[in-house]
Structure 1
Amino acid sequence: MLEDRGDYVVINDLIEVLRNELPEKAIEIGEVLELLLDSLIITRIDIGIKLQKANDSKNFTLLEQLATVSRELAVYESKIQDFRNLFEVDFIQEKTVPDAEKSLPDYEQYRVDNNIEHTLYENFSHKRPFAFEFEGRKVMVDTWIDMLIKTAEILFKKDRAKIESFANDEDMNGRKMRYFSLHDKSGMRKPVQLAGEELYIETNLSANSIRNIIVKMLQKYGIKITEFKIYLRADYTELHK
Protein backbone atom coordinates (compact mmCIF):
# COMPACT_ATOMS: atom_id res chain seq x y z
CA MET A 1 0.00 0.00 0.00
CA LEU A 2 1.35 3.42 -0.96
CA GLU A 3 1.32 5.96 1.82
CA ASP A 4 2.75 9.31 2.83
CA ARG A 5 4.73 8.41 5.96
CA GLY A 6 5.31 12.06 6.88
CA ASP A 7 1.64 13.01 7.11
CA TYR A 8 0.37 9.50 7.83
CA VAL A 9 -2.00 9.83 4.90
CA VAL A 10 -2.89 6.54 3.30
CA ILE A 11 -2.95 7.20 -0.43
CA ASN A 12 -5.47 4.46 -1.11
CA ASP A 13 -7.98 6.11 1.24
CA LEU A 14 -7.36 9.54 -0.24
CA ILE A 15 -7.91 8.27 -3.77
CA GLU A 16 -11.05 6.41 -2.71
CA VAL A 17 -12.54 9.71 -1.55
CA LEU A 18 -11.69 11.28 -4.92
CA ARG A 19 -13.19 8.34 -6.79
CA ASN A 20 -16.43 8.59 -4.82
CA GLU A 21 -16.84 12.34 -4.38
CA LEU A 22 -14.99 13.80 -7.39
CA PRO A 23 -14.95 11.02 -10.01
CA GLU A 24 -14.36 13.48 -12.87
CA LYS A 25 -11.14 14.66 -11.19
CA ALA A 26 -10.06 11.08 -10.47
CA ILE A 27 -10.47 10.28 -14.16
CA GLU A 28 -8.61 13.44 -15.17
CA ILE A 29 -5.65 12.58 -12.93
CA GLY A 30 -5.67 9.01 -14.24
CA GLU A 31 -5.64 10.26 -17.84
CA VAL A 32 -2.66 12.54 -17.18
CA LEU A 33 -0.79 9.67 -15.52
CA GLU A 34 -1.59 7.43 -18.49
CA LEU A 35 -0.23 9.99 -20.93
CA LEU A 36 2.91 10.35 -18.79
CA LEU A 37 3.28 6.56 -18.77
CA ASP A 38 3.00 6.43 -22.56
CA SER A 39 5.64 9.17 -22.87
CA LEU A 40 8.03 7.23 -20.64
CA ILE A 41 7.51 4.08 -22.71
CA ILE A 42 8.15 5.97 -25.97
CA THR A 43 11.29 7.48 -24.44
CA ARG A 44 12.56 4.05 -23.40
CA ILE A 45 11.93 2.72 -26.91
CA ASP A 46 13.91 5.64 -28.37
CA ILE A 47 16.70 4.92 -25.88
CA GLY A 48 16.73 1.34 -27.16
CA ILE A 49 17.44 2.63 -30.67
CA LYS A 50 20.28 4.79 -29.38
CA LEU A 51 21.61 1.83 -27.39
CA GLN A 52 21.94 -0.14 -30.59
CA LYS A 53 23.77 2.72 -32.30
CA ALA A 54 26.10 3.16 -29.30
CA ASN A 55 26.84 -0.56 -29.36
CA ASP A 56 27.54 -0.50 -33.11
CA SER A 57 29.94 2.43 -32.69
CA LYS A 58 31.52 0.82 -29.61
CA ASN A 59 30.74 3.89 -27.52
CA PHE A 60 30.65 1.90 -24.29
CA THR A 61 30.48 4.95 -22.01
CA LEU A 62 27.28 6.12 -23.68
CA LEU A 63 26.05 2.52 -23.78
CA GLU A 64 26.35 2.24 -20.01
CA GLN A 65 24.68 5.62 -19.41
CA LEU A 66 21.74 4.82 -21.65
CA ALA A 67 21.30 1.36 -20.12
CA THR A 68 21.16 2.91 -16.64
CA VAL A 69 18.56 5.47 -17.72
CA SER A 70 16.48 2.75 -19.40
CA ARG A 71 16.50 0.63 -16.23
CA GLU A 72 15.46 3.60 -14.09
CA LEU A 73 12.65 4.51 -16.48
CA ALA A 74 11.33 0.94 -16.27
CA VAL A 75 11.17 1.26 -12.48
CA TYR A 76 9.22 4.51 -12.70
CA GLU A 77 6.91 3.03 -15.34
CA SER A 78 5.94 0.27 -12.92
CA LYS A 79 5.32 2.70 -10.05
CA ILE A 80 3.29 5.10 -12.21
CA GLN A 81 1.22 2.22 -13.61
CA ASP A 82 0.36 1.08 -10.06
CA PHE A 83 -0.53 4.64 -9.10
CA ARG A 84 -2.54 5.19 -12.28
CA ASN A 85 -4.60 2.03 -11.62
CA LEU A 86 -5.74 3.46 -8.30
CA PHE A 87 -7.46 6.32 -10.11
CA GLU A 88 -9.50 4.15 -12.45
CA VAL A 89 -13.21 4.83 -12.05
CA ASP A 90 -15.75 2.30 -13.27
CA PHE A 91 -18.15 4.96 -14.52
CA ILE A 92 -19.39 8.48 -13.91
CA GLN A 93 -23.00 8.85 -12.94
CA GLU A 94 -24.73 11.26 -15.27
CA LYS A 95 -26.03 14.28 -13.41
CA THR A 96 -29.65 15.19 -13.87
CA VAL A 97 -29.79 18.65 -15.29
CA PRO A 98 -33.04 20.65 -15.25
CA ASP A 99 -34.35 21.48 -18.74
CA ALA A 100 -33.86 25.17 -18.05
CA GLU A 101 -30.13 24.56 -17.58
CA LYS A 102 -29.61 22.34 -20.62
CA SER A 103 -29.20 25.19 -23.09
CA LEU A 104 -25.76 25.45 -24.62
CA PRO A 105 -23.52 28.40 -23.74
CA ASP A 106 -23.35 31.34 -26.10
CA TYR A 107 -21.33 29.77 -28.92
CA GLU A 108 -19.78 33.02 -30.11
CA GLN A 109 -18.55 33.90 -26.64
CA TYR A 110 -16.41 30.77 -26.39
CA ARG A 111 -15.39 30.40 -30.03
CA VAL A 112 -11.65 29.97 -30.63
CA ASP A 113 -9.48 30.33 -33.72
CA ASN A 114 -9.98 27.06 -35.59
CA ASN A 115 -6.83 27.65 -37.64
CA ILE A 116 -4.52 27.15 -34.66
CA GLU A 117 -2.86 23.74 -34.54
CA HIS A 118 -2.95 21.72 -31.34
CA THR A 119 -1.11 18.51 -30.50
CA LEU A 120 -2.18 15.30 -28.80
CA TYR A 121 -0.08 16.27 -25.78
CA GLU A 122 -2.56 18.93 -24.65
CA ASN A 123 -5.45 18.87 -22.18
CA PHE A 124 -8.78 18.87 -24.04
CA SER A 125 -11.19 18.91 -21.10
CA HIS A 126 -14.14 21.27 -21.73
CA LYS A 127 -13.04 21.91 -25.32
CA ARG A 128 -14.92 21.16 -28.52
CA PRO A 129 -13.11 19.94 -31.64
CA PHE A 130 -13.43 21.41 -35.12
CA ALA A 131 -11.20 19.12 -37.18
CA PHE A 132 -8.09 16.99 -37.20
CA GLU A 133 -5.31 16.75 -39.77
CA PHE A 134 -3.60 13.47 -40.48
CA GLU A 135 -1.49 12.27 -43.41
CA GLY A 136 -2.24 15.34 -45.47
CA ARG A 137 -6.01 15.18 -44.89
CA LYS A 138 -8.03 17.61 -42.85
CA VAL A 139 -11.16 15.93 -41.51
CA MET A 140 -14.03 17.94 -40.06
CA VAL A 141 -15.61 16.65 -36.81
CA ASP A 142 -18.32 17.80 -34.42
CA THR A 143 -17.36 15.78 -31.34
CA TRP A 144 -14.42 13.91 -29.81
CA ILE A 145 -16.27 10.66 -30.48
CA ASP A 146 -16.49 11.64 -34.14
CA MET A 147 -12.72 12.20 -34.14
CA LEU A 148 -12.07 8.80 -32.55
CA ILE A 149 -14.25 6.92 -35.04
CA LYS A 150 -12.94 8.74 -38.12
CA THR A 151 -9.33 8.22 -37.00
CA ALA A 152 -10.05 4.52 -36.51
CA GLU A 153 -11.59 4.33 -39.99
CA ILE A 154 -8.46 5.83 -41.55
CA LEU A 155 -6.24 3.38 -39.69
CA PHE A 156 -8.58 0.50 -40.60
CA LYS A 157 -7.99 1.22 -44.29
CA LYS A 158 -4.22 1.32 -43.71
CA ASP A 159 -4.03 -2.04 -41.92
CA ARG A 160 -7.21 -3.87 -41.03
CA ALA A 161 -5.49 -6.74 -39.21
CA LYS A 162 -3.59 -4.39 -36.90
CA ILE A 163 -6.60 -2.44 -35.63
CA GLU A 164 -8.59 -5.66 -35.24
CA SER A 165 -5.75 -7.00 -33.08
CA PHE A 166 -6.49 -4.24 -30.56
CA ALA A 167 -9.43 -6.33 -29.31
CA ASN A 168 -6.97 -8.79 -27.75
CA ASP A 169 -4.24 -6.29 -26.89
CA GLU A 170 -4.08 -5.46 -23.16
CA ASP A 171 -2.28 -2.21 -23.93
CA MET A 172 -5.28 -1.02 -25.94
CA ASN A 173 -7.92 -1.79 -23.34
CA GLY A 174 -8.64 -0.61 -19.82
CA ARG A 175 -8.13 -2.67 -16.70
CA LYS A 176 -11.87 -2.94 -16.13
CA MET A 177 -13.39 -2.19 -19.52
CA ARG A 178 -12.75 -2.90 -23.17
CA TYR A 179 -12.18 -0.13 -25.70
CA PHE A 180 -12.04 -2.48 -28.71
CA SER A 181 -13.98 -5.67 -29.35
CA LEU A 182 -14.48 -7.99 -32.32
CA HIS A 183 -17.97 -9.37 -33.00
CA ASP A 184 -19.07 -9.07 -29.35
CA LYS A 185 -20.14 -5.73 -27.90
CA SER A 186 -21.40 -7.11 -24.59
CA GLY A 187 -19.77 -5.49 -21.60
CA MET A 188 -19.18 -2.25 -23.48
CA ARG A 189 -21.14 0.80 -22.35
CA LYS A 190 -21.56 2.75 -25.58
CA PRO A 191 -20.05 0.73 -28.44
CA VAL A 192 -20.00 2.04 -32.01
CA GLN A 193 -19.60 -0.38 -34.91
CA LEU A 194 -16.83 0.67 -37.27
CA ALA A 195 -18.20 1.34 -40.77
CA GLY A 196 -20.25 -1.83 -41.05
CA GLU A 197 -17.35 -4.01 -39.89
CA GLU A 198 -17.27 -6.38 -36.92
CA LEU A 199 -15.04 -4.12 -34.85
CA TYR A 200 -16.68 -2.21 -32.01
CA ILE A 201 -15.13 0.83 -30.31
CA GLU A 202 -16.11 2.16 -26.89
CA THR A 203 -17.25 5.79 -27.04
CA ASN A 204 -18.35 6.43 -23.45
CA LEU A 205 -15.12 8.32 -22.90
CA SER A 206 -13.91 11.78 -21.97
CA ALA A 207 -12.03 14.02 -24.41
CA ASN A 208 -8.70 13.18 -22.81
CA SER A 209 -9.43 9.45 -22.77
CA ILE A 210 -10.11 9.65 -26.50
CA ARG A 211 -6.89 11.59 -26.93
CA ASN A 212 -4.98 8.83 -25.11
CA ILE A 213 -6.54 6.09 -27.26
CA ILE A 214 -5.66 7.95 -30.45
CA VAL A 215 -2.07 8.31 -29.17
CA LYS A 216 -1.88 4.56 -28.53
CA MET A 217 -3.36 3.70 -31.92
CA LEU A 218 -0.78 5.86 -33.68
CA GLN A 219 2.01 4.25 -31.64
CA LYS A 220 0.84 0.78 -32.65
CA TYR A 221 0.92 1.85 -36.29
CA GLY A 222 4.40 3.31 -35.91
CA ILE A 223 3.14 6.81 -36.69
CA LYS A 224 4.67 9.87 -35.00
CA ILE A 225 2.30 11.57 -32.57
CA THR A 226 3.34 14.98 -33.92
CA GLU A 227 1.89 14.09 -37.34
CA PHE A 228 -1.63 14.32 -35.90
CA LYS A 229 -2.93 17.88 -35.55
CA ILE A 230 -6.13 19.01 -33.84
CA TYR A 231 -8.14 22.17 -34.44
CA LEU A 232 -10.64 23.44 -31.86
CA ARG A 233 -14.06 24.99 -32.32
CA ALA A 234 -14.73 26.26 -28.78
CA ASP A 235 -13.25 26.31 -25.28
CA TYR A 236 -15.69 26.15 -22.36
CA THR A 237 -13.05 26.00 -19.64
CA GLU A 238 -14.21 29.28 -18.07
CA LEU A 239 -17.67 27.79 -17.48
CA HIS A 240 -16.22 25.07 -15.28
CA LYS A 241 -14.08 27.20 -12.99
Structure 2
Amino acid sequence: MMKAKYKELFRYISDTDESCASDILYSLELVKTSLNGTLKRIKEEIQAAANENSFDGVSQIAGYCKQITEINQELEEMISALHFEPGEGTAAATLAEEKTEDEKDIAHPVDYTAFDVSRTEPHTLDEDFEHKKVCGLRIKGVEMPVENWQDAIVKLCAYLNRVDDTILKTFVGDSMFRGKKNKYFMLQSVPKRNKRIPGTNIYVWTNNSANRIITIIKDVLERYNIPADEVVIYLRRDLTELHK
Protein backbone atom coordinates (compact mmCIF):
# COMPACT_ATOMS: atom_id res chain seq x y z
CA MET A 1 0.00 0.00 0.00
CA MET A 2 1.15 3.52 -0.78
CA LYS A 3 2.49 5.31 2.30
CA ALA A 4 0.29 8.12 3.60
CA LYS A 5 3.17 10.61 3.44
CA TYR A 6 3.57 9.95 -0.28
CA LYS A 7 -0.15 10.53 -0.83
CA GLU A 8 0.26 13.88 0.88
CA LEU A 9 3.23 14.62 -1.37
CA PHE A 10 1.24 13.89 -4.53
CA ARG A 11 -1.65 16.03 -3.31
CA TYR A 12 0.79 18.83 -2.55
CA ILE A 13 2.19 18.63 -6.08
CA SER A 14 -1.36 18.69 -7.48
CA ASP A 15 -2.20 21.79 -5.44
CA THR A 16 0.99 23.73 -6.15
CA ASP A 17 2.27 22.66 -9.58
CA GLU A 18 -0.45 21.66 -12.04
CA SER A 19 1.94 21.29 -14.96
CA CYS A 20 4.12 18.86 -13.02
CA ALA A 21 1.06 16.99 -11.74
CA SER A 22 -0.25 16.63 -15.29
CA ASP A 23 3.10 15.27 -16.51
CA ILE A 24 3.28 12.77 -13.63
CA LEU A 25 -0.30 11.66 -14.23
CA TYR A 26 0.39 11.10 -17.93
CA SER A 27 3.57 9.14 -17.14
CA LEU A 28 1.86 6.93 -14.56
CA GLU A 29 -0.98 6.11 -16.93
CA LEU A 30 1.53 5.28 -19.67
CA VAL A 31 3.46 2.94 -17.32
CA LYS A 32 0.21 1.27 -16.27
CA THR A 33 -0.83 0.76 -19.90
CA SER A 34 2.57 -0.78 -20.74
CA LEU A 35 2.47 -3.11 -17.72
CA ASN A 36 -1.03 -4.25 -18.63
CA GLY A 37 0.27 -5.18 -22.07
CA THR A 38 3.01 -7.27 -20.47
CA LEU A 39 0.51 -8.84 -18.07
CA LYS A 40 -1.69 -9.89 -20.99
CA ARG A 41 1.27 -11.48 -22.76
CA ILE A 42 2.36 -13.40 -19.64
CA LYS A 43 -1.15 -14.75 -19.13
CA GLU A 44 -1.15 -15.99 -22.72
CA GLU A 45 2.19 -17.74 -22.08
CA ILE A 46 0.77 -19.44 -18.98
CA GLN A 47 -2.30 -20.58 -20.90
CA ALA A 48 -0.16 -21.93 -23.75
CA ALA A 49 2.04 -23.83 -21.27
CA ALA A 50 -1.02 -25.31 -19.57
CA ASN A 51 -2.44 -26.45 -22.89
CA GLU A 52 0.82 -28.32 -23.58
CA ASN A 53 1.09 -29.70 -20.03
CA SER A 54 4.43 -27.92 -19.75
CA PHE A 55 4.62 -26.41 -16.30
CA ASP A 56 8.36 -25.75 -16.01
CA GLY A 57 8.80 -22.08 -15.26
CA VAL A 58 5.05 -21.40 -15.01
CA SER A 59 5.31 -20.78 -11.29
CA GLN A 60 7.95 -18.11 -11.83
CA ILE A 61 6.09 -16.18 -14.52
CA ALA A 62 2.87 -16.52 -12.51
CA GLY A 63 4.79 -14.72 -9.79
CA TYR A 64 5.54 -11.95 -12.29
CA CYS A 65 1.79 -11.59 -12.86
CA LYS A 66 1.32 -11.07 -9.15
CA GLN A 67 4.10 -8.49 -9.03
CA ILE A 68 2.63 -6.53 -11.95
CA THR A 69 -0.78 -6.59 -10.26
CA GLU A 70 0.78 -5.23 -7.07
CA ILE A 71 2.57 -2.47 -9.01
CA ASN A 72 -0.64 -1.57 -10.79
CA GLN A 73 -2.38 -1.19 -7.43
CA GLU A 74 0.37 1.19 -6.33
CA LEU A 75 0.01 3.14 -9.57
CA GLU A 76 -3.76 3.38 -9.09
CA GLU A 77 -3.23 4.88 -5.64
CA MET A 78 -0.75 7.40 -7.03
CA ILE A 79 -3.13 8.33 -9.84
CA SER A 80 -5.95 8.70 -7.33
CA ALA A 81 -3.77 10.95 -5.15
CA LEU A 82 -3.08 13.15 -8.18
CA HIS A 83 -6.72 13.91 -8.85
CA PHE A 84 -7.05 17.69 -8.82
CA GLU A 85 -9.13 20.55 -10.14
CA PRO A 86 -6.99 22.11 -12.90
CA GLY A 87 -6.62 25.86 -13.00
CA GLU A 88 -7.98 28.01 -15.80
CA GLY A 89 -5.78 28.09 -18.87
CA THR A 90 -4.38 24.57 -18.54
CA ALA A 91 -5.25 21.85 -21.02
CA ALA A 92 -6.86 19.76 -18.28
CA ALA A 93 -8.93 22.77 -17.24
CA THR A 94 -10.38 22.97 -20.72
CA LEU A 95 -11.59 19.38 -20.43
CA ALA A 96 -12.93 19.82 -16.90
CA GLU A 97 -14.74 23.06 -17.63
CA GLU A 98 -16.61 21.54 -20.57
CA LYS A 99 -18.18 19.01 -18.19
CA THR A 100 -18.69 20.98 -14.99
CA GLU A 101 -18.90 24.70 -15.69
CA ASP A 102 -22.62 24.84 -14.82
CA GLU A 103 -22.18 22.83 -11.62
CA LYS A 104 -19.10 24.28 -9.98
CA ASP A 105 -18.86 27.21 -7.58
CA ILE A 106 -22.11 26.28 -5.82
CA ALA A 107 -21.40 28.76 -3.02
CA HIS A 108 -21.34 31.59 -5.56
CA PRO A 109 -23.50 30.36 -8.44
CA VAL A 110 -22.96 31.90 -11.84
CA ASP A 111 -25.59 32.12 -14.56
CA TYR A 112 -23.47 30.81 -17.40
CA THR A 113 -26.28 31.28 -19.89
CA ALA A 114 -25.64 35.02 -19.54
CA PHE A 115 -22.45 34.39 -21.50
CA ASP A 116 -24.13 32.60 -24.40
CA VAL A 117 -23.39 34.04 -27.82
CA SER A 118 -24.94 33.72 -31.26
CA ARG A 119 -24.30 30.24 -32.61
CA THR A 120 -24.59 31.43 -36.18
CA GLU A 121 -21.93 34.16 -36.05
CA PRO A 122 -18.82 33.03 -37.96
CA HIS A 123 -15.35 33.30 -36.41
CA THR A 124 -11.96 32.91 -38.07
CA LEU A 125 -9.02 30.80 -36.95
CA ASP A 126 -7.03 33.98 -36.28
CA GLU A 127 -9.06 34.87 -33.18
CA ASP A 128 -8.21 34.23 -29.53
CA PHE A 129 -10.40 31.37 -28.28
CA GLU A 130 -9.32 31.25 -24.65
CA HIS A 131 -12.37 30.96 -22.34
CA LYS A 132 -14.60 30.39 -25.37
CA LYS A 133 -16.75 27.31 -26.03
CA VAL A 134 -17.16 25.94 -29.52
CA CYS A 135 -20.31 24.37 -30.92
CA GLY A 136 -19.51 23.84 -34.58
CA LEU A 137 -17.21 24.38 -37.52
CA ARG A 138 -17.50 24.59 -41.28
CA ILE A 139 -14.93 23.59 -43.87
CA LYS A 140 -15.47 23.94 -47.60
CA GLY A 141 -19.21 24.30 -47.02
CA VAL A 142 -19.47 21.18 -44.85
CA GLU A 143 -20.85 21.98 -41.39
CA MET A 144 -20.00 19.85 -38.35
CA PRO A 145 -21.64 20.22 -34.94
CA VAL A 146 -19.10 19.59 -32.16
CA GLU A 147 -19.32 19.21 -28.39
CA ASN A 148 -16.03 20.91 -27.47
CA TRP A 149 -12.59 21.81 -28.82
CA GLN A 150 -11.36 18.24 -28.46
CA ASP A 151 -14.29 16.97 -30.52
CA ALA A 152 -13.59 19.69 -33.08
CA ILE A 153 -10.07 18.52 -33.94
CA VAL A 154 -11.14 14.87 -34.02
CA LYS A 155 -14.00 15.53 -36.44
CA LEU A 156 -11.89 17.83 -38.60
CA CYS A 157 -9.18 15.16 -38.91
CA ALA A 158 -11.82 12.54 -39.75
CA TYR A 159 -13.11 14.78 -42.54
CA LEU A 160 -9.60 15.38 -43.91
CA ASN A 161 -8.86 11.65 -43.76
CA ARG A 162 -11.79 11.09 -46.10
CA VAL A 163 -10.37 13.74 -48.41
CA ASP A 164 -6.90 12.13 -48.53
CA ASP A 165 -5.88 9.46 -46.03
CA THR A 166 -2.28 9.33 -47.29
CA ILE A 167 -1.57 12.86 -46.01
CA LEU A 168 -2.95 12.18 -42.54
CA LYS A 169 -0.71 9.12 -42.16
CA THR A 170 2.37 11.27 -42.65
CA PHE A 171 1.56 13.21 -39.47
CA VAL A 172 2.55 10.24 -37.28
CA GLY A 173 6.14 10.75 -36.18
CA ASP A 174 6.42 14.11 -37.97
CA SER A 175 8.48 16.52 -35.85
CA MET A 176 6.19 19.36 -36.91
CA PHE A 177 3.31 17.77 -35.04
CA ARG A 178 4.67 17.53 -31.54
CA GLY A 179 4.94 19.68 -28.45
CA LYS A 180 7.75 19.79 -25.93
CA LYS A 181 6.74 16.44 -24.45
CA ASN A 182 4.00 14.90 -26.59
CA LYS A 183 3.40 13.84 -30.16
CA TYR A 184 0.13 15.16 -31.52
CA PHE A 185 -0.46 12.17 -33.80
CA MET A 186 0.38 8.60 -32.81
CA LEU A 187 -0.68 4.98 -33.14
CA GLN A 188 -0.98 4.37 -29.40
CA SER A 189 -3.93 5.16 -27.17
CA VAL A 190 -3.20 7.29 -24.11
CA PRO A 191 -6.40 7.30 -22.00
CA LYS A 192 -7.83 10.76 -21.33
CA ARG A 193 -5.07 12.36 -23.40
CA ASN A 194 -5.79 11.45 -27.02
CA LYS A 195 -8.66 10.13 -29.14
CA ARG A 196 -8.80 7.87 -32.17
CA ILE A 197 -9.70 9.55 -35.43
CA PRO A 198 -12.73 7.66 -36.82
CA GLY A 199 -11.90 5.55 -39.86
CA THR A 200 -8.22 5.31 -38.92
CA ASN A 201 -5.87 3.71 -36.40
CA ILE A 202 -4.36 7.13 -35.67
CA TYR A 203 -4.85 8.97 -32.38
CA VAL A 204 -4.80 12.76 -32.13
CA TRP A 205 -3.70 14.47 -28.90
CA THR A 206 -6.73 16.26 -27.44
CA ASN A 207 -5.41 17.28 -24.02
CA ASN A 208 -4.67 20.81 -25.19
CA SER A 209 -6.05 24.29 -24.65
CA ALA A 210 -8.39 25.80 -27.23
CA ASN A 211 -5.69 28.01 -28.73
CA ARG A 212 -3.21 25.13 -28.97
CA ILE A 213 -5.83 23.03 -30.78
CA ILE A 214 -6.41 25.90 -33.20
CA THR A 215 -2.67 26.08 -33.87
CA ILE A 216 -2.57 22.35 -34.65
CA ILE A 217 -5.60 22.72 -36.92
CA LYS A 218 -3.83 25.48 -38.86
CA ASP A 219 -0.76 23.27 -39.33
CA VAL A 220 -2.95 20.37 -40.47
CA LEU A 221 -4.77 22.58 -42.98
CA GLU A 222 -1.45 23.81 -44.37
CA ARG A 223 -0.41 20.22 -45.11
CA TYR A 224 -3.68 19.73 -46.97
CA ASN A 225 -3.16 23.00 -48.87
CA ILE A 226 -6.43 24.33 -47.48
CA PRO A 227 -6.43 28.08 -46.70
CA ALA A 228 -7.27 28.85 -43.07
CA ASP A 229 -10.04 31.20 -44.16
CA GLU A 230 -11.94 28.23 -45.59
CA VAL A 231 -12.63 27.07 -42.04
CA VAL A 232 -15.25 28.85 -39.93
CA ILE A 233 -15.72 28.41 -36.19
CA TYR A 234 -19.06 28.77 -34.39
CA LEU A 235 -19.20 29.49 -30.66
CA ARG A 236 -21.85 28.86 -28.04
CA ARG A 237 -20.37 30.69 -25.06
CA ASP A 238 -17.78 33.37 -24.33
CA LEU A 239 -16.57 33.44 -20.71
CA THR A 240 -13.90 36.09 -21.23
CA GLU A 241 -15.63 38.67 -19.04
CA LEU A 242 -16.03 36.15 -16.24
CA HIS A 243 -12.28 35.55 -16.06
CA LYS A 244 -11.12 39.16 -16.13
TM-score bracket for the superposition, by shorter chain length: 0.5 to 0.7
Contact kept in structure 1, 2:91 and 2:208, CA below 8 Å: no
Equivalence for 1:101? 105
Unaligned runs of 5+ in 2: 1-15, 20-89
Change (3 A) 1:194 1:100: closer
Query: Match of 1:216, as an amino acid?
Result: D
| 1:29-59 Cα distance to aligned partner (Å, 9 max, x none) | xxxxxxxxxxxxxxxxxxxxxxxxxxxxxxx
Contact kept in structure 1, 2:155 and 2:197, CA below 8 Å: no
| 1:12-43 Cα distance to aligned partner (Å, 9 max, x none) | xxxxxxxx8796xxxxxxxxxxxxxxxxxxxx
Equivalence for 1:240? 243
Cα distance in 1, alignment partners of residues 167 and 109 from structure 2: 39
Equivalence for 1:192? 195
SS, match of residue 166 in structure 1: coil
Q: CA offset at residue 194 of structure 1? A: 1.4
Change (3 A) 1:93 1:114: closer
The structure having more radius of gyration, on CA atoms, is 2
Equivalence for 2:216? 213
**Alignment of 1:160 onto 2:196:** no
Equivalence for 2:128? 123
1:1-241, aligned counterparts within 5 Å? 101=105, 105-182=110-187, 184-185=188-189, 190-195=193-198, 197-241=200-244
Change (3 A) 1:218 1:208: same
Contact kept in structure 2, 1:148 and 1:210, CA below 8 Å: yes
Paired residues in the alignment total 151
Q: CA offset at residue 130 of structure 1? A: 1.8
Q: CA offset at residue 152 of structure 1? A: 0.4
Cα distance in 2, alignment partners of residues 141 and 92 from structure 1: 18
Change (3 A) 1:121 1:22: farther
Cα distance in 2, alignment partners of residues 92 and 221 from structure 1: 26
Change (3 A) 1:192 1:104: farther
SS, match of residue 155 in structure 1: helix
SS, match of residue 133 in structure 2: strand
Give 4+ residue runs of structure 1 displaced > 3 Å after superposition.
20-23, 91-95, 102-105
Cα distance in 2, alignment partners of residues 92 and 151 from structure 1: 19
Unaligned runs of 5+ in 1: 1-19, 24-90
Cα distance in 2, alignment partners of residues 145 and 104 from structure 1: 26
Contact kept in structure 2, 1:118 and 1:231, CA below 8 Å: yes
Q: CA offset at residue 106 of structure 1? A: 2.2
TM-score (norm 2): 0.55
Identical amino acids, percent of aligned pairs: 32
Cα distance in 1, alignment partners of residues 186 and 145 from structure 2: 26
Cα distance in 1, alignment partners of residues 174 and 212 from structure 2: 17
SS, match of residue 168 in structure 1: coil
SS, match of residue 101 in structure 1: coil
Cα distance in 2, alignment partners of residues 141 and 214 from structure 1: 15
Cα distance in 1, alignment partners of residues 225 and 209 from structure 2: 25
| 1:84-141 Cα distance to aligned partner (Å, 9 max, x none) | xxxxxxx76769x9x7526984243011112211100110000011211111111111
Contact kept in structure 2, 1:189 and 1:202, CA below 8 Å: no
Q: CA offset at residue 185 of structure 1? A: 3.0
CA RMSD across the alignment: 2.8
Change (3 A) 1:130 1:100: closer
Cα distance in 2, alignment partners of residues 214 and 100 from structure 1: 30
